[in-house]
Every structure is written in structure tokens, then in C-alpha cells.
Chain A
Amino acid sequence: MSRIRSNLNTGSSEFRQNYAANLARIASFKERQDAARHIRPPRDIERLKKQGKMLPRERLERLLDPGTPFLELSSLAANMAYEGEAPGASCITGIGMISGREVVIHADDSSIKGGAWYPLTVKKIIRCLDIAIENRLPVVHLCDSAGGFLPLQSELFPDKQMAGRIFRNQSILSKMNVKQLSLVFGHCTAGGAYIPGLSDYAVIVRGTGAVFLAGPPLVKAATGEVVTVDELGGCDLHTQVSGTCDYPADSESHAIALGREIVAQWAHSPKWALQREAVEAPYYPADELYGIVPDDIKRSFDMREIIARLVDGSRFHEYQPAYGTTLICGYANLWGYKIGILANNGVLFNDSALKGAHFIELCNQNETPLVFLQNITGYMVGKEYEARGITKDGAKMIMAQSCSRVPKFTVMCHGSFGAGNYGMCGRAYDARFLFSWPNHQIGVMGGEQAARTLAEVKMRQLEREGKGQDAALVDSVYQETLKAYQEQLSAYYATSNLWDDGILDPVDTRNALGVAISASLNAPLEPSGYGVFRF
């Protein structure tokens, strides 16, 4: 495969301006992330220390294999919810390695309100268990949660994708022979008790760990029975009498050491043998990504420059280089894995949509995972394009993509607007993993278009009501809409609501995709249905 020849002028003022703007953006992202991970009321830290507990991230670092990556998911979940009361949605999820096995980690963050579950906590846990199901990854739960956050119970308890789904997913995982281990460091109360209860293996720490459907106060209220935490659901009770947990641990360190050894007993399930080549670092330095991505969402850039900084040796085999050129398609290797890339280089026309649909079929035929690099304002609109069947052609691309059997990965490199989001494997399309860059914006249309559309509607309404033209009113509608939209368009809003699996510093994209692709290979490939249609 030949190397992409970069046309980037790293000496240009545009490059330098982009670079500076993106650095500032990344600094702000890291600052938010750091706060979400580490800024806690000293009182809460003190309480954990007094209990002899480690902070959740300390547990995690000791549990994971040394010198291996941990792909944290949705580190800024809930960052724009609950007035910031649940940083990271009060839990840590991600893909890591324990005793040489890829596992999903779910760790309650007891440094925030005792690890209580908010609605978005539940959503984040369900998402990580969905990842486990889709990719057949074992799960290690680090349990330490006070249970559901009662004031918001209506948003976390009753519906299909709410708390019950956690336990449903756990059950399904076990049925699929995908193992789960719970390390019970703190309390698992009420529904939370089912996490160790539905795990195939459970370790509980003597003194601090407890599992019960109702804690002592509730028991007293319900039946009048007076009982201590340890008597009700402590380590010795569950490992000697009830059998709810399997291994007693003397300390958190002991539990972690046991946990590592338990995972080490799990048979290595064969992975789907995706073709792998020797790894070659990208020829072009990753930090140049900062100089490529424009500060303005409306400015376009050549997505080949992005590909050149993600893939092995910056080598790219471009498919149909002369046809449908606003969608770049082609093969590349990433951390040695053969992948098929679809990257937007402008609005999707009929030919680019057909090219995309065709290339997706080729990757399915070739058993090559798909990576979508989104920067899309949508499918082309207008009389000519409708006449040429843009809707029909877009539908082909969505169909081909939706029905793909190969794993899909999506990176929101810049804008993601309109139906282009669908064709390019947006959140609704079961990408195994979907990440965003901090500059990313998402919405049914761009902020300005939306504001203009609403201002237009307002104007027509005024006209209908015979109130004549009120430029100031229309302008205020425009400005307010734009402002509200901008906030909701931002990557932070998206990630807060778990519309993605987390924001990535662009230079981390290569590693994140490496871990993600490797994880995806744990699930077997389904058989294919049709051959390749040349549309």
C-alpha cells in the first residue's frame, strides 16, 4: 500500500492557528476530565480513607495488568447534568486487561455520594454491559454503591433501558458463557445486590463489603428486626452461610489479588482471526491533527490528512478514487489490523452514497471491520438531487451499513448533521464503539441553519397573524435558538448524555481504535446474507 502524500503545510498560519486553538480545546477537555475524575469533597475522601478503602481509580490501577492500556469510556458522562453533582456519572467503565484477558470494567465511584446511581449512571452501566454483550467481553464489577439515587428514581427505575436492564444484561452475558466477576468492596444494596448475585464469581472484603436487599435501617422499619451490617450481609455471612459470595478477602488488596487470579483461570476464548500485519507507526506525527482540524465547524478539510495520522505507515489503499469523491473509501491497517475506512470529504451526493454502500458491502465480503470518520453536513438537498434519487441512494447506504456483519467503529471528527449521521454509522447504528473529538458538534442540522429555520418560521407566523415584520423579534428568536442549539450541539452535551462512548484527544484515537478493534474480535462474525450489489 502506498503512503498518503500529505499536502499539509505545517508552516502555514492556518496550521498554526488551528494548532493553537485545538491545544486550548484539548487543555480545557483535560481539565474537565481531570475534575470529573479527581475533584471530590475532602469529606468524602476522608470517609473512604477512614474505612480503609482505596479510591476507585487506585483499585483499578492495581487490578489491571501493569503496562497495559485502559480505554476509559464516557469519562465525562453527566458532565452537563444534575448541576455537576455526578461527575463521570458516578462510575468508571472501560476496557482493560487483567491477567492477559480483555475485560469490561464497571467500577462504582464511592467517592461521589457513596456511589449512588443517578439515571445516567444506570445508562452508563447498561452501555458497558451492552458492549460486553456485543463484543463477548467478560466483566469485572468493582462494587461499592449506596444504591439508586432516590429523588430521581422515576428516571432510573421503571423503563426498559433503566436499572432492571443491568441485571437483564448480566443474565444474558452469563447465558452467552461470558464470565463476570464481582469484587465487593463496599455496600451492594437493593438492586445493587444483584450485581454480585448475578456474577459467576464474587469476592467480598471482610469488614467493608456487604450485600443485602435492604440495609439495617430498612429492615428495622419493615420488620422491626435489629441487625448489624455484618450480620445482615457481611463477608463471613455470604462466604460461609449464604453462599452469595465465593471468596472472603482480608483487605481490598487481597480482593484485587484474588480477582486477578480468578480471571487468570478463565479459558481464553478464541478470537475471530482478523488478518494482522506487522505494526508500523504512522509516518506523519499524530500531533499534526491539531493543525488540520479547523476551529470553525463550517470550514472543510481533507480527511486524507486525518487518515494519514491514524493508520499504520500512513498507508492507504483508496477505493474508487475518482468516483463519488466526497466520501473517501479504502483499506488501511491500524495496529496491524486490516480495516475499511469511510471518511467524509464533503456533502454526500448520489455517487458518494452509492460508493459508500458498495464499499460497506465489500468490507462485509472481505470480513474487514469498518471505521467511519464523520465530518458530515448531510446528503445533498435540492431538486436535482431528489430527482436523481438522493433519498433512495442514501437509503442504500443506511441499509448496507445497518445490516453490516463486521464490527463498526465511528469517530466524530468534526460535524455530524442530518441524515449523514445515519449513513455514517451514528449512535443508533450499533457501532461497537463511538468516540468524539472535543471540537465535534452534532444535531439534526447545523446551529445556524436551525436558527435560521426557526426565525423563518417565526417570521411566517408573524405574517400570518398580520403583525408585519419585526426584525428585532426575529433576530432575538435567531440568537436565542442559536445559543440554545450551540450548547446542545457541543461534544460535551453529547457525551454527557452518553450519545457516544467518550471524548478523545485526537492523538489518542489510534490507541483507542486499537483497543476497540481488538475487543470487538471476541465476538464471532455472523454469516453473510447477500453478495455484493453494484448499484
Chain B
Amino acid sequence: MPIKRILIANRGEIACRIQRTARRLGLETIAVYHFTDRHAPHVSEADSAIELQAEIPTAAYLDIQQLLAAAHAMGADAIHPGYGFLAENAGFAAAVEAAGLRFIGPQPKVIELMGDKLRARDFAASRGIPVAPSCTQEGSMDAFIAAASTIGFPLLIKAAAGGGGKGMSIVHSADELANRAALATSEAQRYFADGRIYAERYIERPRHIEVQVLGDGTGNVVHLFERECSVQRRFQKIIEESPAPNLPRALRDEICSAAVELSSAALYRNAGTVEFILAPDGAFYFLEMNTRLQVEHPVTEFVTGMDLVEAQLRVANGEALWLTQEVIRQTGHAIECRVCAELPALDFRPATGTVRVLHVPEAPYLRFESGIREGLPITAAFDSMLAKLVCYGDDRAEAISRIKSALDATVLLGVDSNLEYLSAIFAHPAFVAGDLHTGFIVQHAASLAPLPLDAAMRASVLIAAALGNDDFRRMVDIIPEPHASIGYWRN
């Protein structure tokens, strides 16, 4: 029986994104939400919605029992986990299947394999896919430190169980190693309930290249080409594009083949992403595999013309892979940027507020994917990403020019965001030249900072703001004639 009613175990833009494809395919969607999200678009746009109870909002979306009960109560036949929350939780996937529902994602075993960074690495290495020199904390911290020191500095330390930059740090010399390792352990413990950490050779000026794959669970896997995700802040991507600029075709093909090889070996089912670190010398290393839909999947959809959510649904329905690598084409160029509620000037500190004005330009080459609307409060309870802006162009220059114009035309008032900052990146000569690496933002921090306001501009801002204040506006407008025309006058 093909899937008919999908419970989306997520919120925000990705829940809305999944609903869009489901609607197009004539499938029903069921939203879940925490009380704080009761006015959010992902709730109002779903066919039906059910509230989850939790003290802490995020906990609602992580509550497997409640999600299964909701799915049962609403008559769902499948669960789409989106990204984040339970998307890469093998236990959840297993519980969903045990409850007789379809899990729109990989097999629990594959999730488990790829979720353990160390096992995943070993698995990749065993298939001949290059991995960076590394070591894992298996016993005492002292043994780990000794082993890590032999890899050579700089080193990257991260949580063995996690992703998303949590618990990650770069260690430049042996002196700092012990301290940083201790810190990483405690963060890993806090975020992932697994204190084990892992060290690998840190590559200077590395690029983050990832490959979109699609498998049907029988070893049939195709790739949908690469994405460049090197522009990051706090180890989190903020700009992604496809194809990767300045990447020789042969090297590109080599990386894509490695991704297919790995996924095929794992009998991967679902859309997935294999991430690599690319060194300036052309060497690349397997980083990890994300066994879910990626935030930045729209860039791939733009250049391949595919709907990845639809593809997920088809393989989840048990359909065998319906296309071969040869028919998949990468055409033109797509760029995505993540609009976040944050203060770039204050080290990207998250910001809160209420969306008061939201105006987004419309164009056939543009996708603005968000889970927000005017009037929606933005709290610190969830991730700071508000929306994604994605633009397509015939070539990279056109895509950049379009996304910059679109950003400049986007109006988001009421909550501080990185809109201006993103626009500055797209205007930056190094970005335009495609001279990218994961330290891009740190390297160009000074030239990306906004210019200070000159006196005239500052005055314009203040006057414009004053005129936006009801009391001031009234003071301007309330004066009748002839007094307004006479103006200030003393006899």
C-alpha cells in the first residue's frame, strides 16, 4: 500500500517543505506542534494537526511515544522526520517500523551505522574511501591525548556521536590539547549523552564538499552531484551551492563516485548526503554521512530538476530506483543561503523577537522556504534558522547576482537577522571569485563587517524611525492650517 497520510515529525520550514510536495502528490499531511508553535505556518497549512505536550518546546518534537500515539490517533501510515530532531535516531526509525508505519528514511541499521562517526569512518575506510588521519577515544583520556598528539597539529576534536558543530574545536598545539579535550567531552556529554570524543587531522583552508545520493535499499544508488558548503559560521553552513566553484570535473566525479560507493555498500535507502573535506591539494577525506534530507537540498533540486521529497516518498514506498546515473544532469547554478535570527556583529548571537514585516520577492528562479509569517514570535526555544533563500542562474555569476538582489529586496522586520550579512558575503570579491574554504568568514571578518553610518545616513535612519513612531507622526500630521504653513514664528 503506498503512503497516503504522512505525519511530519518536525516543524518550521522543513515541515512546510514536505507538506508542499505531499500536497502536490495528493497525500494528506498531519502536523505535530508544541503549544509555542500553535500559530506557526506548519500547523495551519497542514491538513490536520495535533499538539504534543512538553515543558520544553524542543522536547515535544523529540518525544517518540507521543509522536507514535499521534500517528496512531490521526491514522497516519508514514512518518517523515525532516532533518534534525529524530531524523537520525535509529531507535525512532525502528519504533516507527515496529508500530507498523513507514519511516521515510533509511533502515534503522544504516542510521545507526552512519550515526556513529567512528563506525562510519571505519566502514568508509574499509571500502577504500579516503579518511583523514584520526584517533578515537576508546579508553582513558590520557591514552587519547597521547594518540591524538601523534597525528600532528592542528587537530580537530569533535564528539564521536554528534554533528552540527556541537563540541567541535580546533587545537593548534599540544599545550591546549588536554583542556580542549576535556571541554569537548563535557559538551559531547551534554548534547549527545555520549562523552566520547574523536580527533582528526585538521586541514588548513579545507573546503566542505558533499554529495547528494539516492538509494533504494538494494544497493542501487545514484548521485545528484555535489554541493559546496564551505561558507560556515560556528561550524554551521550558511551558504551552499551547486556545482562547487573551481572544482575540476575529474575530481568532482571522483568524489561523487566515492559517495555512491559508500552508500551502495551500506545498501542505503532514502535520499542522503555524503560529506567530504577537500584539501587545497585536491586530496579529499570522508567526513560523515547524513542519512536524511539536508537543509540545502533545494540547490540540488534546482540544478537536477528533481523533487527530493518525492524521491524519498517513492523509495519509502518500496519503489526500485527509477533512474540511472546517465540520465541525471547538472544544469546551471544554484545558491542557497540561510536566513537566521542572529546578530552577526555579536558573534552571531541568536536573536529573538516577533516577525512584524515579511516581504519576499517572487521570481521563477527563486525559492524562499520558511516556516514563518508576520506576527509569529521567534523564541530561543528552537534553532535560529528562519528561512532559506535559494536562487538559480544559468551560471554562477547570474545565481550570485540574483540571490544578492533577492536578499536586498527581502524585508524582514521585528527580529534581527543576518540578511545584510549574507548580502555582504555575496558582494565580497573572494566569494565572487569562488575562493572558498571553511574559514572564509573568520578570514574576511573585517571586510564583511557593515560600514559605520555617516552623519547624514544616521540622521536619515533616525528621521525615518521617528516618522515610524505614531506619536511623532501625529505630532507632524496633527497641526492644522494655517499653523502648519506658518510654521515656527514668534512675534
Which A residues lie at the B interface, using CB under 8 A?
Answer: 65-72, 75, 97, 99-100, 102, 276, 279, 335-337, 502, 504-505, 508, 511-512, 514-515, 518
Instruction: Determine if B482 and A518 form an interchain contact, defined as CB atoms under 8 angstroms apart.
Output: yes
Nearest-neighbor residue (CB-CB) of B490 within chain A: A70
Q: Does B489 contact A (CB under 8 A)?
A: yes
Whether the pair B491, A71 counts as a contact (CB closer than 8 A) is: yes
B180 to chain A, nearest CB (A): 55
Which residue of the partner chain, among A66, A102, A511, contacts B489 with CB atoms under 8 Å?
Answer: A511
Chain B nearest CB, measured from A278 CB (Å): 10
How distant is the Cα of A296 from the Cα of B480 in the complex, in angstroms?
A: 41
Task: Find out whether the CB atom of A68 lies under 8 angstroms from the CB atom of B479.
Answer: yes
Contact A335 B479 (CB under 8 A): no
B37 to chain A, nearest CB (A): 39
Which of B478, B480, B490 has the most chain A CB atoms closer than 10 A to its own CB?
B490
Bound together, the chains give a CA A197 to CA B475 distance in angstroms of: 30
A68 touches B481 (CB 8 A): no
The distance in angstroms between the C-alpha atoms of A102 and B481, with both chains bound, is: 11
A-B interface, 6 closest residue pairs, ranked by CB to CB distance from nearest? A100-B478, A335-B482, A69-B489, A514-B482, A69-B486, A508-B491
**Hey, which chain A residues are within 8 Å of B484, CB to CB?**
68
Given contacts A69-B486, A100-B474, A512-B491, 9 further A-B contacts (CB under 8 A): A67-B488, A68-B488, A69-B483, A97-B479, A279-B481, A511-B486, A511-B489, A515-B483, A518-B481
CA of A344 to CA of B491, assembled, Å? 25
Bound together, the chains give a CA A100 to CA B490 distance in angstroms of 17
Q: Which residues of B contact A68 (CB under 8 A)?
A: 479, 483-484, 486-488
B324 within 8 A of A: no
Which residues of A are found within 8 Å of B325, using beta-carbon distances? none
> B491 near A72 (CB under 8 angstroms)?
yes
11 A-B interface contacts by CB (under 8 A): A65-B479, A68-B483, A68-B484, A69-B490, A99-B475, A99-B478, A100-B474, A337-B482, A512-B491, A514-B486, A518-B482
B451-491 CB contact bits vs A (8 Å, 1 = yes)? 00000000000000000000000110011111111111111
The smallest C-beta distance from A257 to any residue of chain B, in angstroms, reads 11
In the complex, what distance in Å separates the CA atom of A405 from the CA atom of B128?
107
Nearest residue, chain A, Cβ from B477:
A100
Please indicate the chain B residues that have their CB under 8 angstroms from the CB of A502 in the complex.
Answer: 491
Q: How far is the CB of A69 from the nearest CB of chain B, in Å?
A: 4
CA of A505 to CA of B480, assembled, Å: 25
Chain B: CB-nearest residue to A504: B491
Most buried by B among A72, A75, A335, A504: A335
CA distance A515 to B483 in the complex (A): 7
Chain A residues near B485: list those with CB within 8 A. Answer: 279, 335
Q: Chain A CB within 10 Å — which of B475, B478, B489, B491 has the most?
A: B491
Q: How far is the CA of A100 from the CA of B481 in the complex (A)?
A: 10
Q: Given A508-B491, A511-B491, A512-B491, does the pair A100, B486 have CB atoms closer than 8 Å?
A: no
Given A72-B490, A505-B491, A511-B489: A518 touches B483 (CB 8 Å cut-off): yes
**Complex alpha-carbon distance, A66 and B476, angstroms:** 9
A70: B residues at CB distance < 8 A: 489-490
Give complex CA distance A200, B54 in Å.
Answer: 55
Residues from chain A with Cβ under 8 Å of B478 in the complex: 65, 99-100
A100 touches B479 (CB 8 A): yes
Q: Return A59 CB to nearest CB of chain B, in Å.
A: 15
B487 contacts A69, C-beta separation under 8 Å: yes
In the bound complex, residues from chain A placing their C-beta under 8 Å from that of B487 are 67-69
**A71 / chain B contacts, CB cutoff of 8 Å:** 491
Instruction: Tell me whether A65 and B489 are in contact (CB under 8 A).
Output: no
B109-148 interface bits toward A, Cβ cutoff 8 Å, 1 = contact, 0 = none: 0000000000000000000000000000000000000000
Which residue of B483, B490, B491 contacts A97 across the interface (Cβ within 8 Å)? B483
B475 neighbours in A (Cβ, 8 Å): 65-66, 99
CB distance from B83 to the nearest CB of A (A): 52
* Cα–Cα distance between A518 and B486 once the two chains are bound (Å): 12
Chain A nearest CB, measured from B476 CB (Å): 9
Nearest CB of chain A from residue B491's CB, rounded to whole Å: 5
Query: Is the pair B479, A279 in contact by a Cβ cutoff of 8 Å?
Result: no
CA distance A187 to B491 in the complex (A): 29
**Contact status B483-A279, CB under 8 Å:** no
A502 to B488, CA, bound (A): 19
- Chain A contacts of B486 at CB under 8 A? 68-69, 335, 511, 514-515
A260 → chain B closest CB, angstroms: 9
Closest to B482 in A: A335
CB distance from A505 to the nearest CB of B (A): 7
- A201 to B463 alpha-carbon distance, docked (Å): 33
In the complex, what distance in Å separates the CA atom of A75 from the CA atom of B482?
23
Chain B minimum-CB-distance residue to A279: B485
Bound CA–CA A155/B480 (angstroms) = 41
Given contacts A65-B475, A66-B475, contact A336 B482 (CB under 8 A): yes
A504–B491 CA distance with the chains assembled, in angstroms: 7
Distance in angstroms between the alpha carbons of A68 and B475 in the assembled complex:
11
- With a cutoff of 8 Å between Cβ atoms, the chain A residues found around residue B479 in the complex are 65, 67-68, 97, 100
Q: Chain A's nearest CB lies how many Å from the CB of B484?
A: 8
Residues of B within 8 A of A505 (CB): 491
- Which residues of the partner chain B approach A514 to less than 8 Å between Cβ atoms? 482, 486
Which residue of chain A has the shortest Cβ distance to B480 in the bound complex? A100
Pick the most buried of B475, B483, B490: most chain A CB atoms within 10 A of its CB.
Answer: B483
Complex: how many Å from CA A411 to CA B408?
60
In the complex, chain B residues whose CB is within 8 Å of the CB of A102: 483
Interface residues of B in 218-241 (CB under 8 A from A): none
Residues in chain B near residue A100, CB distance under 8 A: 474, 478-480
Which B residues from 345 to 361 make CB contacts under 8 A with A? none
Q: Once the chains are docked, how many angstroms separate the CA of A260 from the CA of B486?
A: 21
Flag if A276 contacts B481 (CB, 8 Å): yes
Given contacts A65-B475, A66-B475, contact A279 B482 (CB under 8 A): yes
Closest to A502 in B: B491
A460 to B198, CA, bound (A): 130
Q: How far is the CB of A143 from chain B (nearest CB, A)?
A: 23
Give, as a whole number of angstroms, the nearest-CB distance from A281 to chain B.
Answer: 10
Tell me the complex Cα distance, A492–B487, Å.
28
Tell me, in angstroms, the Cα distance from A68 to B490 when the chains sit together.
9
A93 to B428, CA, bound (A): 63
Q: Which chain B positions have C-beta within 8 A of A65?
A: 475, 478-479
| Residues of A with C-beta under 8 A to B483 | 68-69, 97, 102, 515, 518
Question: How far in angstroms is the closest Cβ of chain A from B428?
Answer: 44
- Give the distance to chain B from A501, nearest Cβ to Cβ, in Å: 10
Residues of A within 8 A of B490 (CB): 69-70, 72
Complex-state Cα separation, A70 to B482, whole angstroms: 12
Complex Cα gap A97–B484 (Å): 10
Question: Which residues of the other chain, B, contact A337 by a CB distance below 8 angstroms?
Answer: 482
Residues of the A chain whose Cβ atoms lie less than 8 Å from the Cβ of B482: 279, 335-337, 514-515, 518
**Nearest Cβ in chain B — how far from A191, in angstroms?**
30
Q: Determine the residue in chain B with the shortest Cβ distance to A97.
A: B483
Chain A nearest CB, measured from B482 CB (Å): 4
Indicate if the CB atoms of B488 and A69 lie closer than 8 Å: yes
- State the CA gap A279–B486 with chains docked (Å): 11
Q: How far is the CA of A311 from the CA of B479 in the complex (A)?
A: 22
CA–CA, A222 and B164, complex, Å = 85
Q: Judge whether B481 and A336 touch: CB under 8 Å.
A: yes
* Nearest CB in chain A: distance from B163 CB, A: 55
CB distance from B388 to the nearest CB of A (A): 46
A72 to B475, CA, bound (A): 22
Inter-chain CA distance A97–B479, complex, in Å, is: 8
CA distance A144 to B394 in the complex (A): 77
Q: What's the Cα separation between A230 and B113 when bound, in Å?
A: 82
Residues on B with C-beta less than 8 A from A276 are 481
B394 CB to nearest chain A CB (Å): 54
Interface string of B75-95 (1 = CB under 8 A from A): 000000000000000000000
Min distance, Cβ A61 to any Cβ of chain B, angstroms: 9
Q: What residues on A are CB-neighbors of B491 within 8 Å?
A: 71-72, 75, 502, 504-505, 508, 511-512
Tell me which of B478, B482, B484 has the highest count of chain A C-beta atoms within 10 A of its own C-beta.
Answer: B482
State A336–B488 Cα separation when bound (angstroms).
18
Q: Give the CA-CA distance A21 to B437 in the complex, in Å.
A: 82
